[in-house]
């Protein structure tokens, strides 16, 4: 799935410096395209040919004409003047909304380990307009990369097979695709369809268990938060290998979904630093994708047990996460009510993902829905009191 209009999706690649790259885009079935007014009126049903030149570094970038969302499939071809052998094709491409799902193990947590997994996985067959892409965990880098060096699973049509692949006995929680990412996309798809139109969704599972925020951020984030020297002087290994490659275009998208923070929950001091670094990281991601107002939805941490300072650090971290909610276009979903006691990986991923989808409807799609969890305002004892009883009146908002 490529990002729909009004944004112009960018495609890019690498060839010889100075070579001309010719790109074509055309509907796979023109007659089907002509039956969709938003496509026919915008000129999307004709074959369009575009050219660009590769820069001194061999990178070429081609902005495509904006294309409205639909289930009409398109084909794209690319050819370099450098060699007749340098050709590539993409088929069955849809235009819709693209979301990148990042974070650590609770975002990595797979569909086969999800609560009610069998029924949830079987339901995926009804969503062929959702396409999934999984980066995997084979490449990290101490220096910036301009291309993904490894891909676990390339773009695939969502189905009961594709969303639950590569689940092995020795990895009882993790497989190809993120449960939170899938449930977010499925719920968002249903809600958008209820408004009268099917919007294809492209979901990118881009996560790595056990990673701290510093691994996903450029060094400037820590410079701006007064940490010198920064823990990753050339940028975090996941920032370099799993974020910057998308910025080479950059990839056009609708937003990000984020579930991370457990690895940073050590002390109240680490929580205090997160209050500064988390909003700065969001800004850095938006800058890298050149979309300063892209939607960013995050999960407020759930419950788990641990020693040391966790009893104070966990609530402090939840409060620190909420500092990012002041940014424009940022939303959150609480998850403490769907924890599993001492388990750091709660199996109930659907509720929090549906909350994120509701938040996206309000913040990204401007739908009038209540998405915030109730927030504490005041608490006071009411008077008079009967003997032996106390009544407390609590005020909430949202």
The mean pLDDT of 5-19, rounded to a whole number, is 97
Q: Given a cut of 90, is residue 217 above it in pLDDT? A: yes
Asked if residues 329 and 293 have their Cβ atoms less than 8 Å apart, the reply is yes
In our burial notation (b when 16+ CB lie closer than 10 A, e otherwise), range 83-114 reads eeebeeeeeebbbbbbbbbbbbbbbbbbbbbb
**Mean pLDDT of the region 216-244:** 96
Q: How far apart are the first and last CA of the chain?
A: 35
Q: Tell me the pLDDT tens digit for each residue of 52-68.
A: 999 999 999 999 999 99
Q: Mean pLDDT of all residues in the chain?
A: 93
Res 171: pLDDT: 56
Q: What three-state secondary structure class fits 156?
A: strand
Give the pLDDT confidence of 150-180 residue by residue, as tens digits.
999 999 999 999 998 876 555 556 778 999 9
| pLDDT at position 166 | 73
Instruction: Inform me whether the pLDDT recorded for 51 exceeds 80.
Output: yes
Residues 23-35: tens digit of each pLDDT: 999 999 999 999 9
Q: What pLDDT shows up at residue 173? A: 65
Question: Which tens digits make up the pLDDT trace of 322-378?
Answer: 999 999 999 999 998 888 888 888 889 999 999 999 999 999 999 999 888 887 889
Q: Is 44 exposed, middle or buried (0-12, 13-18, 19+ CB in 10 A)?
A: buried
- pLDDT of 10 > 90? The answer is yes
pLDDT band at 385 (very low <50, low <70, confident <90, very high): low
What is the C-alpha separation between 304 and 315, in angstroms, rounded? 11
Question: Which pTM does this prediction carry?
Answer: 0.94
What's the average model confidence in pLDDT over 229-233?
93
- What does DSSP say about strands 87-103 and 295-299: parallel, antiparallel, or unpaired? unpaired
| pLDDT (tens digit per residue) in 254-288 | 999 999 999 999 999 999 999 999 999 999 999 99
Please check whether residue 204 is in contact with residue 227, taking contact to mean a CB–CB distance below 8 angstroms: no
* The residue to which tokens 């029924």 are assigned: 119
The residue whose two tokens read 């450098």 is 82
Residue 240 near residue 134, CB atoms below 8 Å: no
pLDDT at 339: 86
The CA distance from 318 to 3, in Å, is 32
């Amino acid at each position: 799935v490529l990002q729909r209009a009004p944004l112009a999706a960018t495609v890019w690649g690498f060839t010889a410096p100075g070579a001309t790259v010719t790109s074509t885009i055309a509907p796979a079935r023109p007659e089907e395209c002509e039956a969709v007014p938003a496509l026919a009126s915008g000129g999307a049903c004709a074959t369009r040919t575009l050219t660009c030149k590769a820069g001194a570094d061999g990178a070429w970038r081609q902005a495509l004409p904006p294309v409205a969302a639909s289930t009409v499939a398109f084909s794209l071809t690319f050819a370099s003047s450098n060699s007749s052998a340098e050709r590539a094709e993409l088929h069955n491409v849809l235009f819709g909304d693209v979301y990148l799902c990042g974070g650590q193990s609770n975002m990595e947590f797979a569909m086969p380990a999800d609560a009610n997994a069998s029924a949830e996985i079987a339901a995926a067959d009804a969503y062929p307009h959702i396409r999934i892409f999984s980066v995997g965990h084979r490449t990290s880098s101490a220096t910036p990369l301009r291309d993904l060096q490894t891909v676990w699973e390339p773009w695939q049509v969502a189905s009961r097979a594709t969303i639950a692949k590569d689940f092995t006995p020795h990895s009882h929680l993790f497989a190809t695709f993120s449960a939170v990412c899938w449930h977010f996309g499925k719920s968002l798809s249903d809600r958008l369809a209820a408004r009268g139109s099917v919007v294809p969704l492209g979901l990118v599972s881009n996560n790595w268990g056990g990673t701290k925020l510093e691994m996903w951020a450029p060094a400037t984030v820590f410079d701006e938060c007064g940490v010198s020297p920064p823990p990753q002087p050339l940028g975090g290994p996941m920032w370099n290998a799993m974020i910057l490659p998308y910025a080479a275009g950059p990839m056009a998208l609708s937003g990000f979904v984020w579930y991370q923070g457990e690895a940073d929950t050590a002390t109240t001091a680490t929580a205090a630093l997160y209050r500064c670094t988390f909003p700065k990281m969001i800004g850095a991601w938006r800058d890298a994708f050149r979309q300063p107002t892209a939607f960013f939805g995050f999960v407020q941490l759930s419950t788990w047990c641990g020693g040391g300072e966790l009893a104070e650090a966990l609530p402090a971290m939840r409060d620190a996460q909420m500092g990012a909610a002041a940014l424009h276009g940022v939303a959150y979903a609480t998850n403490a009510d769907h924890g599993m006691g001492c388990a750091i990986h709660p199996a109930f991923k659907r509720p929090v993902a549906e909350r994120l989808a509701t938040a996206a409807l309000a913040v990204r799609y401007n739908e009038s829905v209540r998405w915030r969890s109730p927030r504490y305002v005041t608490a006071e004892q009411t008077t008079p009191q009967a003997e032996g009883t106390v009544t407390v009146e609590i005020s909430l908002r949202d």
